């Protein structure tokens, strides 16, 4: 007659499981990283010809080493930068001082009047990173507000409620035209 | 009203605890899957600036981080330094490091590799610009300035 194997007492299983649970609870870090995603331009080739952009199509944003802003040669404040950028990028046909406009057709959104403006961002080597992020953020905010407005006009929906195709159409119709100047070092006399 | 009268003493049955291990195991598996152990020991301070127009950094496996900030060890001064993996590095180490990061990913993932810049807010842009120029040279164009959530005007 085969002997019966005694049953293994499983009352401590819960305790073991709790120990493991505590371990994973302690070591887990569920911090999700957030940030501003950007795409760097490819390196400039030596023989590349400078792309000529008309002066009226460029908004110059400069930040010096003491974190002061200069927008188109005028001292400015970070709190106004978003509105300035938005005003600049909003197409105004017939206005000689504003950037040129063009009409383009996109899927889903149809004909859109687009500004040919470019925002050129230049910072000094001494600019603080916090200021740089603030400027990037304010410029991104200007474009995001314009996207939001277009999304509402075309689809009667908020930007985050659009489906993939609609989001792509809006992103095509409102391109983020921020160009970072090649770094140069300004000598202070 | 007799219907609701207590009929004698009924004992409350013991709550069965036999399913407790199962519940705990379920929690364990959840934490095991979501856990990501800190992979680097930070040698630099990275108090990041705040921003509002931010996106979630998806696919952590496709993100490699460059830390830039003043060293934690105050003996090393306050000038911002670059940290790659577990050690301080110089700007010209970045090309090799990117290559190493690319090699450790599968062929299909390589173009999707994002470089997260975790930079202390007091860092001067000179260092960051050098790093960016280096990344451009090696073709690591996808970057992310990792920030905290909050109004950028308070930076």
pLDDT tens for A1-36 read 667 777 777 778 878 888 888 888 877 766 678 888
Whole-number pLDDT of residue B9: 67
What count of CB pairs under 8 Å joins A to B? 155
- Give the integer Cα–Cα distance in Å for A174 and A159: 12
Torsion of CA B117, B120, B125, B127, to 10 degrees: -70
Using a CB-CB cut-off of 8 Å, the residues of chain A touching B36 are: 28-29
- In angstroms, what separates the C-alpha of A133 from chain B's closest C-alpha? 7
In the predicted structure, residue A46 carries a pLDDT above the cut 70: no
Whole-number pLDDT of residue A33: 82
3-state secondary structure A66-89: CCCEEECCEEECHHHHHHHHHHHH
User: Considering only alpha carbons, which residue of chain A is nearest residue B132?
Assistant: A40
Task: Say if A24 falls within a structural domain.
Answer: no
Which residues are within 8 A (CB) of A58 and not within 5 positions of it... i.e. 6 or more apart? Answer: A117, A118, A119, A120
Task: Say if A121 falls within a structural domain.
Answer: yes
- In angstroms, what separates the C-alpha of B97 from chain A's closest C-alpha? 18
Task: Identify the DSSP state of A100.
Answer: P
Which of B29, B31, B80 to mutate to test binding with chain A, by most A CBs within 10 Å of its CB?
Answer: B31
Which of A26, A28, A36 to mutate to test binding with chain B, by most B CBs within 10 Å of its CB?
Answer: A36
Task: Identify the DSSP state of A165.
Answer: H
Interface residue B112 vs chain A (CB under 8 A): no
Residue B131: both structure tokens together: 């790093």
Q: Along chain B (155 residues), what's the average pLDDT of each consecutive run of 10 residues? A: 63 80 84 72 86 84 88 85 87 89 86 89 88 89 89 76
Whole-number pLDDT of residue A26: 79
| Structural domain of A84 | 58-180
In the predicted structure, residue A189 carries a pLDDT above the cut 50: no
CB contact under 8 A, B152 and A134: yes
Using a CB-CB cut-off of 8 Å, the residues of chain A touching B52 are: 137, 141
Domain boundaries B50-154, corresponding CATH code: 3.30.420.270
Least confident of A83-92, A125-134, A164-173, B26-35: B26-35
Interface residue B64 vs chain A (CB under 8 A): no
CB contact under 8 A, B28 and A17: yes
Instruction: Give the model confidence (pLDDT) of A119-149 as tens digits.
Output: 888 888 888 888 989 999 999 999 999 989 8
Nearest by Cα to B148 from A21, A31, A103, A125: A31
In the predicted structure, residue A94 carries a pLDDT above the cut 80: no
- Of A21, A38, A42, nearest to B28 by CB-CB distance is A21
- Give the integer Cα–Cα distance in Å for B149 and A133: 12
Asked if the interface predicted TM-score (ipTM) of this complex is over 0.90, the answer is no
Higher pLDDT, A41 or B152: A41
The CA R_g of chain B, rounded to the nearest whole Å, is 26
- Give the integer Cα–Cα distance in Å for B47 and B57: 18
Domain count along chain A = 1
- Give the integer Cα–Cα distance in Å for A157 and A138: 23
Using a CB-CB cut-off of 8 Å, the residues of chain A touching B21 are: 10, 13-14, 17
Most confident of A44-58, A101-115, A144-158, B11-25: A144-158
CB contact under 8 A, B121 and A40: no
- Give the integer Cα–Cα distance in Å for B85 and B9: 68
DSSP H helices in chain B: 20-34, 94-103, 125-138
């Amino acid at each position: 007659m085969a002997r019966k194997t005694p049953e293994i007492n499983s009352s401590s299983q819960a305790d073991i499981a709790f120990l493991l649970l505590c371990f994973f609870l302690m070591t887990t870090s569920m911090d999700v990283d957030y940030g501003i995603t950007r795409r760097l331009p490819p390196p400039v080739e030596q023989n590349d010809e400078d792309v000529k952009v008309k002066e009226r199509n460029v908004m110059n944003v400069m930040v010096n080493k003491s974190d002061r802003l200069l927008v188109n040669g005028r001292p400015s404040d970070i709190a106004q930068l978003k509105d300035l950028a938005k005003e600049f990028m909003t197409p105004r046909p017939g206005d000689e001082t504003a950037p040129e406009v063009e009409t383009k057709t996109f899927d889903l959104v149809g004909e859109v009047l687009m500004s040919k403006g470019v925002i050129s961002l230049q910072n000094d080597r001494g600019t603080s990173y916090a200021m740089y992020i603030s400027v990037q953020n304010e410029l991104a905010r200007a474009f995001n507000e314009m996207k939001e407005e277009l999304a509402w006009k075309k689809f009667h929906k908020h930007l985050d409620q659009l489906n993939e195709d609609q989001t792509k159409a809006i992103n095509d119709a409102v391109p983020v035209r921020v160009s970072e100047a090649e770094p140069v070092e300004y000598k202070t006399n | 009203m007799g219907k609701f009268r207590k009929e004698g003493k009924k004992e409350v049955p013991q709550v069965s605890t036999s399913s407790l291990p199962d519940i705990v195991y379920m929690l364990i598996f959840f934490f095991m899957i979501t856990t990501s152990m800190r992979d680097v020991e930070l040698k630099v301070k990275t108090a990041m600036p705040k921003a509002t127009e931010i996106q979630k950094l998806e696919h952590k496996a496709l993100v490699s981080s460059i830390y830039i900030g003043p060293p934690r060890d105050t003996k090393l001064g306050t000038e911002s330094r670059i940290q790659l993996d577990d050690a301080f590095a110089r700007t010209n180490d970045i090309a090799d490091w990117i290559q190493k990061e690319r090699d450790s990913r599968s062929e299909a993932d390589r173009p999707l590799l994002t470089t997260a810049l975790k930079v202390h807010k007091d860092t001067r842009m000179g260092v960051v610009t050098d790093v960016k120029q280096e990344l451009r040279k090696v073709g690591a164009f996808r970057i992310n300035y990792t920030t905290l959530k909050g109004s950028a005007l308070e930076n």
